[in-house]
Structure 1
Amino acid sequence: MKKNTFKLLSGIFIASLIITGCSNDDSSASPNDPDKPTDNIISIKDSYQIDRSKLLTIIPDLKSFHSPEILWTITGINGNNKDSLISKDEKLHFITLNEGNYSLIINVKDGNNTVEKEFSIRVDKEKKPYKYHIAKVFDFLPAYGQFTNEMPKYEEGDTSEIMRKKAEQAIASENPSMISLGGFGGYVTFGFDHTIVNVPGKRDFRILGNAFANSSEPGIIMVAFDKNANGVPDEDEWYEIAGNEHSNSQVIKNYEITFFKPTAELDATTGNIEEYIQWKDNQGNEGWKPKNQFHSQSYYPLWITQESMTYRGTLLPNNAIESNGIWQLKEFEWGYADNYPNTHDESAIDIAWAVDQNGNKVFLPGIDFIKVYTGLNQEAGWLGETSTEVSGAIDLHIKQETIPTRK
């Protein structure tokens, strides 16, 4: 995705605004000759309506233009003049938290020919108040872990869909409980009943977990903008929130680990609990994951019938420190889930921290989906594996919490 090169107007953010166009044929001019005048026109409605925190989509049909240059400009808000360039992209993305009437112009220049069209957008308050918390869980698959099959509770015969629903019941609520993602790569994917707006200078959402001082189990956060408006997260729509460890030379991008289903369950009091679940990764490492003496259930997701499961993502450097039998899990500075207590500013995330798969910053007008996965492959003695826990998520703007972004 190209990074938009426009100035953001305070309180106005860009989502998917689609403009359709048409052209009249003229024998004296050709779209292949931009220096001759044409009868190209931009055919769009005079006015649009959208609720706040919803995306308005308008796409120009520019087939009749040879080499179009596009400018989108806000010219007024609620009757007040406001001449601000907001985009030069072919597609305009319009979304805002603020109700009101917005006056805009699309200007298309093709050689010596310039065509423009004025139109308006009315932004209304939603008829049914938005939920500030998660509305739907799309997918849930924990990795090996001491709380797998317990948070949420697996019951014999449960399928992946039943476990997804149990995860949804746990975290899609004003009063959520908690799910565990297990070891590296275990994940949950969820969404809201609206688009979380990317507000310049402010953090936009918070992932809830159970972190506290010296007990941080950081999870990588992925975000997605529903650019094709199909209501589900597609693989090509994901971007990673680049926390402060993103450029650390110890971070491994495109890490893969495979966990193998145990051939028999171990009794934690009598079996060889140090060699419980076999694993190997794409870095040439392999070994065994132990069974924690405090948790006797299976650590392999029992609704999965495959004999092995492979998980992929960004591997963070280990954060566990042991001294005289006391383990500490140190937090990273910012940008991760289950990393700081839920009331701490650094548990809040700015959409502007998103990067593409090459590590390049991207501009997202807002996000519709969030994926969290455990970012560590680490054992911490009697504490067991480091596993990210999730107990919900909050749209800070709808919740009316204002937290400035990092400078």
Structure 2
Amino acid sequence: APDDPRGLSATGGLPYFGGPGNNYSMHGIAEIVARARRTPGSFGLVAANGGLLSKYSVGVYSTEPVAWRPSTSAGIQRELDAVPSVRVAHYPDGTAVIESFVVIDPDGDRPAATVIGRLPDHSRFVAAVDDPDLLALMVGDSDPVGTTVYARGTANQNFVALTRAALDARHPVPTVGFADEYQHLIVKRDGHVLEVTINRPEARNAMSPVTNAELDAVFDAYFADPDLWVAILTGAGDKAFSSGNDLAASSTAGGLSVPVNGFGGLTSRREMPKPVIAAVNGYALGGGLEVALACHVIVADEGASFGLPEVKVGLVAAAGGLVRLPRVVPPALARDMILTGRRLDAAEALAHGLVSRVAPTGDVMNAARAVAREIVAASPVAVRSSIAAMATAEAEPDAVQATLDSMAVLDTVLVSEDFREGLTAFLEKREPQWKGH
């Protein structure tokens, strides 16, 4: 109606619409053209979703003729491509606003909805709706666009709910801590050292959705436990550290399921404040190598093999291999490995700095434990502070500025009990008894 307060409303008040296969956008264009022709000099705008929110189209229609000109679609596309895109949040968390939505089978017994949401930092995300109250709002007469919701990302899918309580009830935040037992892992504590073994030797320790979830939970618990100072990650048997993603399990589960912290619970983890040692026995291929690259130290069995064979099966090393490998080995070698799938043996890996130590066949865990003992013999505060300073320095290309920035950790080190104990032990000519704080 002319007096409709909603303004832009050729589609019932919504500034967008869609429906795959129904040609709704063409109906919208026809309606706008008819209205514009009734008012010479006016303009019409049509915006439409396509598919399941996979595309968004906008058209401006004018009643004023213009001179013929050749198509400039390629130039317009270049201009559009040059505009900065909106950042995508793959694992949203916290409050958000609904920007767009689609409801499937709204009048059926089991309607389903998908939303495009916007977080306070302006990034966008896609999420499913399984909260009955929010679903009722979306299938009702009210317009849910602009509604504040609560979002949470999981390994399999993102979800939104109308209230935080509803989201917690349906998708609770996992409790941080070690489980009594695991399906695909063997977890062992030895003093200040945690040993984690991927226990799938029959699958060359490939990582299934279950493996990824268990590793993510174990490393959450490790980093939260003040009595654990070092972790060692290895694979069961002598054939493989890990051959990467379990493609068969992923296809059965309906797709690759990766925790917020990335493959193996490590490759996308923002903070790793305590050291993790990779004890590589046998193959470290694909995601297996990417997990090893995310560790602070790699110790290899002399029979170990390293490679990123993703391109040979139509994939890419997107879990950190494309980023970390060129930072560790010479760039030319990294390109060779990434583009051809070339493998390195343990001797080559040591020569090029991919690993720091090579152990005799069958002795890699003893070598990794020796490294762990050396780390435990040092101040935990100093070790954690060194890790933090190196992480900060990686983001600063200027060496002098990075050095100045790294000095900030002294604010933590110089007031710690470990600092006082270290000086006292040195003066008294005895071994220090570290407290870890």
Structure number having the greater strand percentage: 1
Structure number having the greater helix percentage: 2
Q: TM-score, length-normalised on structure 2?
A: 0.29
Larger radius of gyration: 2
The answer to which structure, 1 or 2, has the higher relative contact order (CA under 8 A, 6+ apart) is 1
